[in-house]
Amino acid sequence: MIGLIILAIFITLIVLAIAIIQNDDLPHSVVLFMGFGLGSVILYFLFSAPDVALTEAVIGTGVSGVVFLVTLLQIRSKEIKK
C-alpha cells in the first residue's frame, strides 16, 4: 500500500516537473513549483527523513515561492510603467 502511494507521488512529481518547464505562464509555473515542493515533502516524510521534510516545507514551499512571485510582480509593474 505504502509502495503504491510512493509510486503515485513519484509519477505526480515527474508530471509536475514537466508541467513547470513547459508552462508559458510564469505565475502558474511558480504555483506548480510550490505543488512540487509539497509532493517532495510527503516523499521525504515517507522515506523517514522528517527534518528534511520540515526544511523543504518551510523553504521550498513557503519562502522560495513567495520570492519568485514577488520578483515576477516587480518585473510586471516595471513593464507596465514603461
Query: Residues in the site for other proteins, rule: CB under 8 A?
Result: 50-51, 53-55, 58-59, 62-63, 66-67, 70-71, 73-74, 77
Q: Which is nearer to other proteins, 19 or 57 (CB)?
A: 57
Terminal-residue alpha carbon distance, the chain: 56
Q: Whole-number minimum distance, CB 30 to other proteins, in Å? A: 14
Cβ 56 to other proteins shortest distance, Å: 10
Residue number, 19 or 69, with CB nearest to other proteins: 69
Q: Closest CB to other proteins among 8 and 74?
A: 74
Angle, in degrees to the nearest 10, between helices 26-46 and 2-22? 160
CA distance 55 to 14: 21
